[in-house]
Structure formats: C-alpha cells, structure tokens
Amino acid sequence: MTDQFTQSPDRTLDPQDWDGMRQLAHRMVDDGIARLQGLRDGPVWQPMPQDMRVAFAGPVPLGPEPLEDVYADVMAHVLPHAMGNIHPRFWAWYMGSGNLTGAMADFLAAIDGSNLGGGDTGANLVDRQVTDWLRQIMGFPAEASGTLVSGGSMANIIGLMAARNAMAGIDLHHAGLADMPRPLRFYASDQVHNCHMKAMNLLGLGGKALCRIPSDADFRMDVSALQTAIAADRAYGLTPACVIATAGTTNTGAIDNLTALADLCRAEGLWLHVDGCIGALLQIAPYTHDLVDGIERADSLALDLHKGLHAPFDVGCALLRDRRTHRQTFAETAEYLQTTTRGLAAAEFLHDYTLETSRGFRALKIWMMLRHHGVEAFGRIMDQTVAQARYLTSRIMAEPDLTLMAPTATTVICFRHDPGDMAEPALKAHNTEIMLRLQEGGVAVISDTTLRGKHTLRLAICNHRTRTEDLDLLLHEVLRIGHMLLAPDHETRCEPHGS
C-alpha cells in the first residue's frame, strides 16, 4: 500500500496528446462561432424533452472518458437548451446578450489563470484599468474607486455595506450592530429590486430597516414622501442613513429623480446609493444620457456589466466615491497576506475592496470588449435600445387591442392584450397563456409582472442583436395568439407547441 502510494507516477491534468487536444479545441471554437452566426434561425428557447433529462442522472464519473464524448454531450444536450438570452428575440427579465469577444476573453482569462485577489501581475493592472475606465465613464472623481464583482446584486451589497459602515457612527470592524445607540434606516422606492432585501438581511439590519417609499404615477420614488419619512424617523429616534435610488427599475425601467435625491441626501447628510444595474450605462449614450443626470453624484453606484455591456456572465462593478471609505469597509489584516516592496506581493491587494479573497479575471473580458468595440459603440447600442423601446411603445399605443400598462421610461415596455370585457383574473390567465405560447413556440421569450395589482406582459430590451423586424414579429404573434385564444373554437385551431 505504502509502496504503491509513494511510487505512483507523476500525475497531471495536462493532456497526454497535445495535438489531439489542440484539434478538439479548434473544433470547439469553430462550433461556437457557427452557433452565434446561425442564432437568428433557431428557436429562442426550447424545453428539454423528458427522455433527454436522464442524461443528467448518471453516476459520479470515477474514471476517465474521452473529452470528445463529453463535448458531444454538451453539444447535444446542453447548448440546444440554453436560456436563449443571446438570441435576437429574447426580452425577458433583464439580461444581456453576450458577445464573442467577451467569450474569447473568458477563455484567455482562464488560460492566464491569475488570482485577482492581488499580486504584481498584468491581470492586476487590467483589473485596475477597467475599474478606472468605468469610473471615468460614469463621471466619478479621481479619488473614487471600484471593484469588479459577480453582478448587480453583489455590487449593491458592496455599496450598501460601505454605506452602513460609514453611517453607523461606530466601528463595525470591532463593534456590532447591537452596540449602536440608534438603529439605521435605509430608504428605497416600492419598486426597488429584491437584492436589496437580501442585502439588508446579510448586513444584519433586517428587512424592517428598509423603508419603502411609495412611487408616483411614473413609478419613480415620491421625493416629498421620502422627505416626510426621514423627518418622521428622526423624530422617532432612528438614524436615517442611506437612500437607495434606482436608475432603471426592473418592473418598468423608471429612473428615480437622481438630482433631487442627491440634493436631498446632501441637505440631510445621508449616503446616496444608486442601483444602476439597468440604467447607469445610459451615461455613455450620445442621445439619451440626460435620463441619468445626477448619477455621478452618488456615494456608491452598482453597475451590471453583463446587462448593459453584454459581457458574458458574470460581472458587475461597484463604484465608491471615496476610495478611503471603500478600503476601510473591506480591508482586514492577515499575517499570511502582507504586501511587500518587491516581488509578486508588491501590489495593492484588490481583495481589500470587496468581500471575496480569491477573484477571477473577469476584468479581461471588459478590457478586451471596450478596446475592441470602443465605448462609443456601447453607447450607441444603448441609444438604439431606447429607440426600439419607444418604437414598440408607439406601435402598442396604435393597436386597439393592446394596452400600454406603464409609461416607457427607458428600455422596459409593459403592455397586455386586452380586447375589452375581460376581468383582471381572466386577463392575467389570457396574457400568461400568450407569454407561454411565445416561449414554447421558440418565437420570443418575454416575461410578466404585476403593476399595482394589474398583470402585465413585460419586454426588457437589453439585446444588441434585436432588430425592428423582431419587434414587429412579436406584436404580430401576440395579436395572432391573443385572437386565436379568444376564438370560440380555438382549441381545434391551436398549433401544437414547439411546431
């Protein structure tokens, strides 16, 4: 036993047949490019047949298997059943549509293999340059700092944790929330994303620390109601700490009045955090950047780069107005993680600005994408998306059987098929069926939501592949399916799903 253990040959995960591996890798690249080229011709999404699902019920693979076979399985069972968010007619929830430069960069980042927790590496310089580019793009001052994270939820947590620590009045590296004389209060509109509730939970503040301010007819935070709430909380003995503004709500794409909120926060001495996951990057749009006026005044800002920049999942960014506050929130000392004046550890530790210690090289895809396409191209795509949303809105308003359910502020369109004489529960069932048939037919993927008690279909255009004709096709299909479902003998006229 011992002999066998000590005398076993050197093992490695490197290929034994480098040439064979190279050929297979080239094929993967060719197949990947062909897939993107042919995207438009395939279904947006297709459900996996029941018998195919058994492929995912096999035992733990103890022994080896040729990589060709594993890859064949990916091509046969995984990729054909992708989410479809990279398809030109995917408009559900709010997702980016990826891009090839970013995909190649993700491969190269894995080949580089650096851990972005720190170190004097090229990767470290790329990471720092990317966050600095984002700082400049968003109009933040030179003393601001940024950190790349997994996405918008984490970027919001980074900003809110900095806000909590800065506003606590005690040192939360040592003391706990129970040591605070007066509880902190955070404020957001009733349209705020649910990741902020998770953040309140994680930060130990509890959901009740987040005061939900009503939104107005345009689904923007009612600023005078906010002012009243702050005054009432102060009178009650709470500590108003932070306003969470949303630049692009998930429900309707509405943008809170950032300038008014920045003025109010300054007057009241509150931290302004902006959740810019949907709208922040409008800042680079040549024609529509005024929609986010005032965003550069935030104390912290969450950006979602796998949405507006269409980076492959996952990458987001938190920007902090004040680098010192940022670092003070997250830096902890450790004897096994000390910087040196020379050698590999002679660089600032990037993990001092975030919760993670080891970090992947997600900076490379942003760096390569921004250089390859140029920031202006991304700005023009933002404009194009807003223009498409406005086009679709005007077409919906011109259709007697369709109702616009919220003002279109940016790139989210809420509408439903409503030929009249249907009660709310029937309208919900009817429109849900339209949505599901669009998805199951592979025609388009849209989602739904509820606005002030009313069910609505919802399109979020965050897709650089969408063309006007795709939106025309969607409306045509919504009307066709809607009318078909209401025809008295519709079941006989239904086309089978997936045809």
Residue 359, Cβ neighbours under 10 Å: how many?
22
Residue 282 beta carbon to ligand PLP: minimum distance, rounded to whole angstroms: 13
Contact set for ligand PLP, span 80-99 (CB under 6 A): 94
Measure the N-to-C terminal CA separation of the chain; round to a whole number of Å.
60
Residue 325 beta carbon to ligand PLP: minimum distance, rounded to whole angstroms: 22
Selected range binding ligand PLP among 77-85, 102-110, 270-278, 416-424, rule: CB under 6 A: 270-278
User: Of residues 44, 230, 278, 389, which one binds ligand PLP by CB under 6 A?
Assistant: 278
C-alpha atoms less than 13 angstroms from C-alpha of 325 in its C-beta half-sphere:
20
Cα(223)–Cα(260) distance, integer angstroms: 7
Per DSSP, the chain holds a count of helices (H) and strands (E) of 15, 11
Calculate the CA 277 to chain-centre distance.
Answer: 6
Q: Answer yes or no: are the C-beta atoms of 347 and 339 closer than 8 Å.
A: yes
Cα(399)–Cα(413) distance, integer angstroms: 15
Q: Does 152 bind ligand PLP (CB under 6 A)?
A: yes
User: Of residues 114, 153, 252, 439, which one binds ligand PLP by CB under 6 A?
Assistant: 153
Q: Does 403 bind ligand PLP (CB under 6 A)?
A: no
Selected range binding ligand PLP among 9-17, 133-141, 150-158, 165-173, rule: CB under 6 A: 150-158
Residue 316 beta carbon to ligand PLP: minimum distance, rounded to whole angstroms: 5
Q: Does 354 bind ligand PLP (CB under 6 A)?
A: no
Q: In the numeric block, which tokens belong to residue 225?
A: 């109601």
In the complex with ligand PLP, the residue whose CB is nearer, 131 or 153, is 153
Q: Does 277 bind ligand PLP (CB under 6 A)?
A: yes
Q: Are strands 210-213 and 184-189 parallel, antiparallel or unpaired?
A: parallel
Q: Does 151 bind ligand PLP (CB under 6 A)?
A: yes
Rg (CA), the chain: 25
Q: Does 250 bind ligand PLP (CB under 6 A)?
A: yes
**Closest-CB residue for ligand PLP?**
152
Q: Does 157 bind ligand PLP (CB under 6 A)?
A: no
Q: Does 304 bind ligand PLP (CB under 6 A)?
A: yes
Selected range binding ligand PLP among 11-19, 120-128, 273-281, 376-384, rule: CB under 6 A: 273-281
In the complex with ligand PLP, the residue whose CB is nearer, 203 or 278, is 278
Element (H, E) at 426: helix 424-440
In the complex with ligand PLP, the residue whose CB is nearer, 71 or 313, is 313
User: Of residues 275, 296, 352, 470, which one binds ligand PLP by CB under 6 A?
Assistant: 275
**Alpha helix ranges (H) inside 16-87:** 18-37, 67-73
Tokens 């999404």 belong to which residue?
Answer: 45
Task: Report residue 152: phi and psi, to 5°.
Answer: -65, -40
Residue 248 beta carbon to ligand PLP: minimum distance, rounded to whole angstroms: 6
Q: Does 315 bind ligand PLP (CB under 6 A)?
A: no
Question: Which residues touch 33 (CB under 8 Å, ≥6 apart)?
Answer: 100
User: Of residues 184, 188, 195, 350, which one binds ligand PLP by CB under 6 A?
Assistant: 195
Contact set for ligand PLP, span 433-492 (CB under 6 A): none
User: Of residues 316, 379, 442, 482, which one binds ligand PLP by CB under 6 A?
Assistant: 316
Q: What is the DSSP string of 448-465?
A: EEEETTEEEEEEE---TT
Calculate the CA 281 to chain-centre distance.
Answer: 12
Selected range binding ligand PLP among 131-139, 168-176, 275-283, 437-445, rule: CB under 6 A: 275-283
Q: Are strands 447-451 and 412-417 parallel, antiparallel or unpaired?
A: unpaired
User: Of residues 87, 193, 437, 458, which one binds ligand PLP by CB under 6 A?
Assistant: 193
Which has the closest alpha carbon to 91: 426, 423, 478?
478
Cα(369)–Cα(307) distance, integer angstroms: 14
Q: In the numeric block, which tokens belong to residue 228?
A: 């009243």
In the complex with ligand PLP, the residue whose CB is nearer, 145 or 250, is 250
**What's the one-letter identity of residue 248?**
G
Name the site residues for ligand PLP (rule: CB under 6 A): 94, 151-153, 156, 193, 195, 246, 250, 275, 277-278, 304, 316
